[in-house]
Amino acid sequence: KFRRPAEVYTLLNDSPAHRIAEQLLGNLGPDVGGQVALRFPLRAERASRPDKDADRWHIDGLRGGAHMSPFQLLLGVALSEQPGDDCGNLQVWPGYHSTAFEAVRRARQVRTSGIISPEEEWERPRLPIDSSVQVRLCPGDVVLAHQKLPHAVGLNRSPNIRYQV
């Protein structure tokens, strides 16, 4: 069983975000996971190049066994400032959840087990990069999103490490 660092869990459990999540979903119970997500600055020679994987979005839960939604909600807490684009921001494609849903539904029909492993390439639709939004956050800001919202971590062309839980 995965051991969660108490400090990471406490950031959620002792914050108003926990109460908000429970208002949306009901009792969260003890099985709440978390991670510290770091995004390091790009080296100077790479920072000036365009992002070749700009539309390499994903949805969470594809590695959850037969049930492709092992959790119900993304909840992020910013620990560092992301005042503009290209600070390692969360990048989302608002309104494209139905496009992602249809792609997953088709993939599940192909695979009788219902599992799509990260090693298997599924028909990931190309989403227009100009439809994506980089979420700008200040320390302490909270992001709540459906786990099937297409998202990615943007490049970090800033001089600072992006910290988020």
Give the model confidence (pLDDT) of 46-62 as tens digits. 766 666 666 678 887 66
Evaluate whether 154 touches 31 at the Cβ level (below 8 Å).
no
Q: According to the model, what pLDDT value does residue 54 have?
A: 62
Q: According to the model, what pLDDT value does residue 30 have?
A: 65
Comparison of pLDDT for 8 and 98, the residue scoring more? 98
Q: What mean pLDDT comes out for the span 135-152?
A: 90
Q: According to the model, what pLDDT value does residue 47 have?
A: 66
The residue to which tokens 């999103």 are assigned: 145
Q: By mean pLDDT, which of 27-36, 77-86, 121-130 is the weakest?
A: 27-36
Q: What mean pLDDT comes out for the span 55-77?
A: 69
Burial classification of residue 45, based on how many CB atoms lie within 10 Å of its CB (0-12 exposed, 13-18 middle, 19 or more buried): exposed
The residue to which tokens 């807490």 are assigned: 77
Comparison of pLDDT for 121 and 35, the residue scoring more? 35
The pTM (predicted TM-score) of the whole model is 0.78
Q: By mean pLDDT, which of 118-122, 128-132, 139-143 is the weakest?
A: 118-122
Q: According to the model, what pLDDT value does residue 55 have?
A: 66
The pLDDT of residue 5 is above 90: no
> Could you give the count of Cα atoms lying within 13 Å of 35 in the half-sphere of its Cβ?
5
